Amino acid sequence: DSTPSAFRPPFARRPSSPRAMTAGSNGAANGMNGHKTVCIVGVAGFIGSHLLEKIIREKDWHVVGIDMVAPSKIQQLLGAEKKWAARFEFHQMDVTTKEGVECMREQIKRSDTVINLAAICNPSEYIKQPVNTINSNFTDAQDCINFCVEFNKHLIHFSTCEVYGRTLSSYGLDAADPKNYILDEETTPMIMGAVSAQRWCYACAKQLVERLIYAHGTQNGLKFTIVRPYNWIGPRMDYIPGVDGKDDGQPRVLASFMTALMKGDPLVLVNGGEVFRTFCYVDDACDAVVRIVERPEKSQGRCFNVGNPDNNIRISDLAELMIDMYSKITGKPKGTTVKISGEEYYGAGYEDSDLRIPSMSLVNKQLDWSPKTTLKEAMESTMRVFIDKYADKLANKKRSADEAAPAIKAAKV
């Protein structure tokens, strides 16, 4: 959920100084009064921030938050005046360093449940930094797993729906047969592309760490639950290039489309936008995670799809939906689209999964959970936050660039 630091050689450790920041003057997430203590690794990212907010507002649990990045997305939850101040503390640390790993070990030791969200999960990075992607999602995850084994903690590990790869129907099997395109946790085979298609390095690393977790469950008695998210969306997701992300960054599809809409640029449809995505509102999804924590007898030893099959949409249709909705919200003229190849947009080695529709049988049965928010409701809520936060900043940035353009052109002459 939060993006690890720049590349480092596999298994290398650098010294660091973990920094603790409590929500209030006490910041005592020790669970000594009998309340559950939950450690969230990757707490300052998109999913982590929403999960933290739900827990501390609705439960009496203590939360120990860990992340490598500054707590900008959870800043509104910090402060001694907050009524939950004594139940939350934040530790900023680099968990790829020796000192950071040891600090994480101590926080896991004092917790009851550990939720690991830390990962690189951006398609552009899979092509640009495949080694770092594999290390982040497999190598760096092992310390957290090992500590949960050592201290007998319930590990809730976040994987991805991408572990399923491409559907059987994409290889010519009957597209009308649900078993060829509905993704089931216990029966669907996982089919990746060629090794040379580096887009799959993320999915393969995530699948391998799932298998490692299962192996620890069998061999060492690890109490675990694996979550496979299906394109969770909501406020605070991703970034806008040039505002709170690097200028040449390529965020995921919703943030990319929002950037284009707010700048007045065409929305880019990679490979024509022919693939489908199934979007789930983050508030619904976090409810499922809380149920996993609350019901270990139902969740341990399981893998759960957490998505909304009713919100399945072709990316080209998503673009049209967002164009219409943006115009309705802002009163501005409708935007346009442009088609581009995946190789041109991301680089050589790009492939994509064709369809991601989750089976909901297991999560319904074990957790009595189903999502409630429609695609239009989720999109409008998310888009309004993007507009409120970024529209003026992008307009000012464009204005400054336009004003500077004549001087830059003159200097070149």
163-186: buried (b, 16+ CB within 10 Å) or exposed (e) per residue? Answer: bbbbbbbbeeeeeeeeebbbbebe
Give long-range contacts, CB 8 A cutoff, 24+ apart: 7-15: 7/129, 7/131, 7/132, 8/96, 8/135, 10/131, 10/135, 10/139, 11/139, 12/96, 13/96, 13/97, 13/98, 13/101, 14/94, 14/96, 14/97, 14/98, 15/97, 15/98, 15/99
Q: What is the number of alpha carbons within 13 Å of residue 68 lying toward its C-beta?
A: 21
Q: Determine contact, residues 143/101, Cβ cutoff 8 Å.
A: yes
Q: Determine contact, residues 288/363, Cβ cutoff 8 Å.
A: yes
Q: Determine contact, residues 382/233, Cβ cutoff 8 Å.
A: yes
- Is 281 among the catalytic positions? no
Alpha-carbon gap, residue 226 to 211, rounded angstroms: 10
Burial class (CB in 10 A: 0-12, 13-18, 19+), 298: middle
Q: Are β-strands 302-306 and 223-229 bridged in parallel, bridged antiparallel, or unpaired?
A: parallel
Which two tokens mark 215?
Answer: 């192996």
From the candidates 164, 202, 281, 390, give the one annotated as an active-site residue: 202
Alpha-carbon gap, residue 281 to 376, rounded angstroms: 10
Q: Collect all residues with Cβ–Cβ distance below 8 Å to 211 and sequence separation of at least 6.
A: none
Residue 158's SS3 state is strand
Alpha-carbon gap, residue 318 to 311, rounded angstroms: 10
Which residue type, as a one-letter code, is found at position 133? Answer: T
Rg of the chain, C-alpha, whole Å: 22
Q: Collect all residues with Cβ–Cβ distance below 8 Å to 164 and sequence separation of at least 6.
A: 183, 188, 190, 191, 353, 356
Under DSSP, the state recorded for 139 is I
Alpha-carbon gap, residue 165 to 355, rounded angstroms: 9
So which residues are the catalytic ones?
Answer: 202
